[in-house]
Structure formats: C-alpha cells, structure tokens
Structure 1
Amino acid sequence: MGFFQKLKAGLQKTQDKLVHEIKRIVTRSPKLTAATIEELEAALIA
C-alpha cells in the first residue's frame, strides 16, 4: 500500500468517525442548545 493510499484510508476513517459522532449528537438532541454545541465542538476538536 502506497503513501497516498494510506493517507486516503486514514482520512476516510477520520471522516467516518466524525460523521458518526455528529449524527449521534444531532439525533439525540435535535435542538441546538449550549450543551449540544459543546458536544459538537468536542467532537470536532477530537
């Protein structure tokens, strides 16, 4: 596996985790509250 293939696979894994976490947060709390914003912020930083 070449460098760019590894990079692409790693970025895809990161994207999948991020999308999953955002969906989990938004599904659980559809209204945008301060707590929801904090959770989204934590997910984006992690």
Structure 2
Amino acid sequence: MKNKQYPDLFFFCFVFSPQDVSRFTRRILLGIFRIAPPVAGFRLTT
C-alpha cells in the first residue's frame, strides 16, 4: 500500500510546491551520491 501512496504524494507535492520537491530530490541525490561509492566499491570487490 505504501508503494501506491508515494507517487500520489510526490505528484501532490510537485503540483503544490515545486520548490519543496526540488529540495527533496536534492536530498535524495545527495544521499545517493553518499551511499553509491561504498556500494560500488563493495560490488567491485565481491
């Protein structure tokens, strides 16, 4: 059920406050860039 709620919530936020969504996406991208290097290194070593 959560998976169905997230797109609607994201669309709702995008329609009513694009700036907040841009902040949210920036946080997600920063989190991905922080997490990606260790994960990539771990996959390369295994």
- Per the normalisation by structure 2, the TM-score is 0.50
- Per the normalisation by structure 1, the TM-score is 0.50
Using CA pairs under 8 Å that are at least 6 residues apart, name the structure with larger relative contact order, 1 or 2.
1
Identify the structure with the greater helix proportion. 2
